Structure 1
């Protein structure tokens, strides 16, 4: 059964993503929240999904108050059944799931590799790598009939070593591999798969780190500042639009020039 999409007061939704159903994981805060808001502002119908259901509901409420269309759902990306349920619901809306932004992630403890416990390594990889695998495993079949775009969040940690981030970097490297492989495997289904690698972004994940832990990193950024979530969301909005229709399998760095050194 297809669920009809609600419309704005004049019966339309403007924007280059008009009426496209978009699923955003990790949508309760940070990049995910701002990305959900940006996609909705461009006309998408957003499913804001997060383990923090109350946070996702706040974001969906803000979107609705601003004139957009969104609903909130709880999702645990480490649980395939949980992901399957949310994706199946999104696929019944309107013309089906057309956009997915797999953003849910955790940083894990800042620990040297030899001191990193198996439990901490597992926790980081279950969210940051297995979470993306679970999401794409469900999203790709859901998009196979109509086509669509998947954007996975990686990190500059996948491109450059950072002390204490072994599990995080390994998981984000894996996200790049999943992205490239899926892009080649599903291009003939009209599905584009891309990744975005942010640098230091002013999100709760970063601001919750120990004081001074990012000082040296920011000092190495040519633009001499952290990114704002809106700057990452703007890139994602472009990548999922028809303006990027010939782009797939590529990673897109938003790092203020850090990797250009």
Structure 2
């Protein structure tokens, strides 16, 4: 399955780090190299957290056939881990049984830092597709319409970071994370705000964007626009408060002094 194949989160239709010194940068010019990951040969740092289904062997083949055993890896958010498993692993066991795919949940140091894990699927094309759709449904069912975050990402994705002021974080996230969820849904990315400030910047928090190249570029522009609108609105609010304060202290709107 092509890495550029993207999943529409709800319909089941197959659909990747640096600070931002420029307030209106060209997002396409700033994207770094993608975060690449391939577990064809597992390294010492990679561990299986869970494994369901029979062991399977697969081989890279020149001629693709429906019956060939394939392997594909996705990223998913660490916070969805228990939702995918279900109580006593019942949900993931059922998905494995229905799809027939062998399912592995993996982790490494790099993914844990980013609060992400890996989903590995082995099986025929139909088995993999079925398991992918079922897991996507399980993840997106935990969210209310109309906005759903992307459930699964390719193993190879882009990561971009930009700072916002700590005073902007609450408004950026929105009530019950509604604003950032809307941005995620519209840009087809994952957006995370760091809890702690970057070194030497106590009043800042880093916003992390993850996704495929064009999606991350769209998220950068979307967040830049939000920050600009927020700062513009805050400036107008401060000016209004200053004007109101001036009227109260000095008289009416025309500058006439209040009668004593």
* TM-score category (smaller protein): under 0.3
Q: What TM-score does the superposition give when structure 2 sets the normalisation length? A: 0.26
- Structure showing greater relative contact order (alpha-carbon pairs closer than 8 Å, 6 or more residues apart): 2
Q: What TM-score does the superposition give when structure 1 sets the normalisation length? A: 0.26
